[in-house]
Structure 1
């Protein structure tokens, strides 16, 4: 049976865009949008009257917030999978505390949406587990790219801030860290969330960026020191104000030393 979806967003253009992206999603994605709601109260009425498989849920809406709606979904006999779709990255921790399947920060494309749906329906969980885990014994293979490894090019990463899309220069990123459903970028004075996976960031950030762990991608220009920890693992001390420390996995240590010439 085709999964049935409900779109909840107080803005009509956002609902229309999501419908379009679902229709335009790559691969064999087949989701039937059978309802729309403009606020949390309306969404709960629909969710209590029909079994849905997926709910695309905005967070900031008049009345009930998306987080409050997700909390009440726990009372339903059949709980749909929730994918948050929002312009604000600030609520990701609260969203995953509510067992969200994914957290998409607007704007997102059809490919990113398709991965979220696949994860929610159960076919994308394995890849995500490999990306976000921290056990050094079962690492996912680093992403490969056909581009020359040291090619210099202008790279900007879109970051959502206060309803605006801010383009962050690649050179301003100290390191990127994987998290469930998103990644964090450590900047010189700030840390921000983006909806890209670490593998996606690795494909975008060529040249002086290096994967040092399945959960970390570092800007080699910010590496200040290489020090061993108490287990004998290599740790990078970064040249930012906080002197951030980034763990290096054993499988990536040799490549890192070669890239740094040590």
Structure 2
């Protein structure tokens, strides 16, 4: 059984929301949909990694709110697929800036929605991952879902957007580190952080504060290196060159 595509849609009219939901239902893809009638409601409940796809109405209650909430979402979640829906095409440049994959004019067409779902499903299947033994079963864990790794004695805990996974094999961070791209940084003998999900670096406390509030420690001798690597990654991310 395929894992449902997790979708949020922000539409302020029932007619537009129902049409979009109908297009999703008729696409043939398994999906879990959540409808928000306001941008404030979506922004208040949004958690990075919560959705695979978000449909955003650019104008909600006659105000250009979709772009604002998309900016907030993109600040904390670089991976979620964004799609704008609108009766106007005047904000097409904003969709490019926010790395939205599509700009759908209303009324949305079933074939366009299906094409977007095909893209998201292919993206999920091809997402880079790491395979680890979790609770006795070999599991494929998408890298974009991992906040950080933590080693306690001979056990590695994988802290993901949806919870903590405990490895059930004799594995160390030394074994895992070579399997990871440059967006992961070994900051401490017991931690590897995913720089995508670092909220801030506190040099005084020598920690990465993650977007979920957790803390990842940095070795005292490595604070200068950690600062340089994190800043370099931020610049690369701003240019769209992050790995």
Q: Structure 1 length as normaliser, TM-score?
A: 0.42
TM-score under structure 2 length normalisation: 0.45
